[in-house]
Structure 1
Amino acid sequence: MKTIKYIKGDATLPQAKGNKIIVHVCNNLGGWGKGFVLAISKKWAEPEKRYREWHRNRAKNDFELGAIQIVPVNDYIYVGNMIAQQGMKTGSNGVPIRYNAVKTCLEKIAVEAEKLQASIHMPRIGCGLAGGKWEKIEPIIKETLIQKDIEVFVYDFN
């Protein structure tokens, strides 16, 4: 069985052959402007553009916790926008990350990865601005992706 491969480096420069999906956590408010999304936007305009359109048209689509959006950015790289963050700030309802939404998103990502025969690349999703704990995220990754024999790379930025 595969294991999560931890790499020192930049998740926007995925280190593998073949198709790759870079996944990250988005909020459910349509906000894009802090954290890992800045690195994505610096490299490709399309993921932010598509996320903002998705949010703007949310009355007519599936924009909600647990939803994903796969955005091709070149011949072999896709960005997976995953809505798994309730709001943007820690408050009376705790931290913004929603672990059940992370699980739902990654289950959907697994289906797309199998279709595209893609490996998955990510920073430590949900553990930055979303306030999550890696010891809760890692088992979700194992259950949703590793169990399906999908290659997963987690990047710790230098």
Structure 2
Amino acid sequence: MFDALANLSQIVPDAYRKAHECEDLHLGDLHFIPISVCVSGKNSDENKLDTSNEDSQWVALAVVQTYNPRRKVARSDISLPHLEGCLEKVAISAVQKSASIHMPRIGCRSGQGHKEWYAVERLLHKYAATYGVKIYVYYFKRATRSESNNRPE
């Protein structure tokens, strides 16, 4: 997912890296990152994001897993209470901006079954119905190790 976001805008991985450096990635946090097109000034140093128009786009980074690089499985399961809090925040924001929510399918690990995904799906239905916001879920096929090793640089 982060590869797709980085292809969309380098602002996303930079913001994530900065949040990590500032130790600002706590369970339940929701970081809104503007990814609107840069508006050029006279000098390239004057480029800035224009988030004032209706077509501005945002990425919402929800912190709903813990990470420990020393564990065999580095990421924890999704914390459903923290995900629910983040979904409520992003749904409220989407309603205020007359926007929709687009996200990857989360909560599925191979060999883990689909129990976690069904819990996530119920939360998505709940907030779509409660706030009347459209939520689109995208299914990405994860590249196998051999596919990712053979990618052109």
Q: TM-score, normalised by structure 1?
A: 0.64
Distance 1:72 1:126 in 2: 25
Q: State the AA in 2 paired with 1:79.
A: V
Larger gyration radius, structure 1 or structure 2: 2
Shift of 1:96: 2.9
| Structure 2 equivalent of residue 17 of structure 1 | none
Any runs of at least 4 consecutive aligned residues in structure 1 with deviations exceeding 6 A, and if so which? 89-92
Note the alpha carbon deviations across 1:108-145, whole angstroms, 9 max, x for none. Answer: 1112112211100111123359x772111001112233
Q: Any unmatched runs of 5+ in structure 2?
A: 37-54, 142-153
Q: CA 1:127 to 1:77, structure 2 compared with 1: closer, same or farther past 3 Å?
A: farther
Shift of 1:88: 5.5
Distance 1:47 1:41 in 2: 6
Contact 1:66 1:101 in 2 (8 A): yes
| Structure 2 equivalent of residue 53 of structure 1 | 18
Distance 1:128 1:37 in 2: 17
| Structure 2 equivalent of residue 109 of structure 1 | 90
Distance 1:146 1:91 in 2: 38
Q: CA 1:147 to 1:91, structure 2 compared with 1: closer, same or farther past 3 Å?
A: farther
Q: CA 1:88 to 1:151, structure 2 compared with 1: closer, same or farther past 3 Å?
A: farther
**Of residues 98, 122, 130 in structure 2, which corresponds to 1:139?**
122
| Structure 2 equivalent of residue 149 of structure 1 | 132
Shift of 1:95: 3.9
| Structure 2 equivalent of residue 82 of structure 1 | 62
Distance 2:96 2:21 in 1: 28
Q: CA 1:76 to 1:128, structure 2 compared with 1: closer, same or farther past 3 Å?
A: farther
Q: Give the total of aligned pairs.
A: 119
Q: Any unmatched runs of 5+ in structure 1?
A: 1-35
| Structure 2 equivalent of residue 73 of structure 1 | 35
Q: Which one has the bigger strand percentage?
A: 1
Q: CA 1:38 to 1:113, structure 2 compared with 1: closer, same or farther past 3 Å?
A: same
Q: State the AA in 1 paired with 2:17.
A: R
Distance 1:104 1:72 in 2: 21
Identity of paired residues, percent? 28
Contact 1:88 1:96 in 2 (8 A): no
CA RMSD of aligned residues (A): 2.8
